[in-house]
Structure 1
Amino acid sequence: MSDVIVRSASYADEADLVGIDIRTWSFLHAVLPRPDADKPFFDERHTPEGILVAQVDGRLAGYVRIVSPTPLPCNAHVRQIQGLAVDTWARGRGVARRLMDEALREAGRQGATRMTLRVLGHNAPARRLYESMGFTVEGVLPGEFLLEGTYVDDVLMGRPLDLAAA
């Protein structure tokens, strides 16, 4: 197995990140429409500074987006995962776990004491990963999304950052 290297994203990664989003898009994890190849990956709220990327053999393999969930000062101690994707060719190599480990460390470096995320109820592989890393279900919005004719729960998960990264 090749080593997974995680680093901060840069604007030079944009085309590769758009490609990953297009190749990995699925209603298993996405509530937004299929990504458009002409739409930029980065925007005013999602800049390279909030994204970690993983490389395997020098090739971009995936990313995790870490953001403050709100602009409120009283919420500044929380970071939220708002996107985790691993390219199809890189799955099964520990890329997602490595990205999540680094996201937890980065959130701690930023002064956060808590990490949250939202995952679709039917995304069992992602839920297993998050649970194995100390995340617990903190709430469920039943039937929050209608995806391909099926109502899907929005599952809210979180964990304190004082736990050692799994």
Structure 2
Amino acid sequence: MPEPLIRPARPDDEPALARLDRETWSPLHEVRPEPPAPDEPFFHPACGPDAHQVAEYDGRVVGYVRLGHPTGMPTNAHVLQIRGLAVAEEARGKGAGRALVRAAVAEARRRGARRISLRVLGPNTVARALYASEGFTVEGVLPGEFHLDGRYVDDVLMGQSLV
């Protein structure tokens, strides 16, 4: 499979992104106890198309990355955070996730961020390995932070400097 096309999300991507969110939901990587409802909007006023990059293969949306500020405080406006990443099953292992992580880092730099961070669930070893291979390091662990699918799982904090 060739490299995916990575582009900014558009408002008309919402149905495809909402479907992707439902199809990729798993307690391995999601803290919500259940998948989004079929009628739940994907974009929100505080998290619209401008917060997302999408991956496409042959004109079909197969992934997204969501980038935003970890808090609303001006004292940490220099930090951007990967606040979501999803890749369709058929596109996994083919470079879409890596391309989306790289796009998020590039976008954070373009916006003038000095740091980029993320949170990933401890059992999600595939995502953790991807982030580590792209320069993210573990900066902290919140042991047993979430109770998901009948067990307590760690919340792993990762980040990297952009300067």
Give 2:76's aligned amino acid.
N
Please report the TM-score for the alignment, with normalisation by the length of structure 1. Answer: 0.95
Task: Give the match's secondary structure for 2:152.
Answer: strand
Native 8 Å contact 1:116 1:158 kept in 2: yes
Other-structure match for 2:118:
117
Q: Distance in 1 between matches of 2:96 and 2:3?
A: 9
Q: Distance in 1 between matches of 2:39 and 2:96?
A: 26
Task: Give the match's secondary structure for 1:129.
Answer: helix
Deviation at 1:82, TM superposition (A): 0.5
Q: Distance in 1 between matches of 2:151 and 2:72?
A: 33
Cα deviation digits, residues 91-132 of structure 1 (max 9, x gap): 121000000111100000001010000000010000000111
1:25 aligns with 2:25: yes
Native 8 Å contact 2:81 2:118 kept in 1: yes
1:41 aligns with 2:42: yes
Native 8 Å contact 2:108 2:116 kept in 1: yes
Deviation at 1:73, TM superposition (A): 1.4
Other-structure match for 2:73:
72
Q: Distance in 2 between matches of 1:148 and 1:38?
A: 24
Alignment of 1:1-150 (within 5 A): 1-32=1-32, 33-150=34-151
Give 1:17's aligned amino acid.
L
Q: Distance in 2 between matches of 1:57 and 1:80?
A: 29
In structure 2, the gaps of 5 or more residues are none
Cα deviation digits, residues 44-76 of structure 1 (max 9, x gap): 111100100010111101000000111211111
Task: Give the match's secondary structure for 1:3.
Answer: coil
Give 1:18's aligned amino acid.
A
Aligned length: 162
**4+ long deviations beyond 2 Å:** none
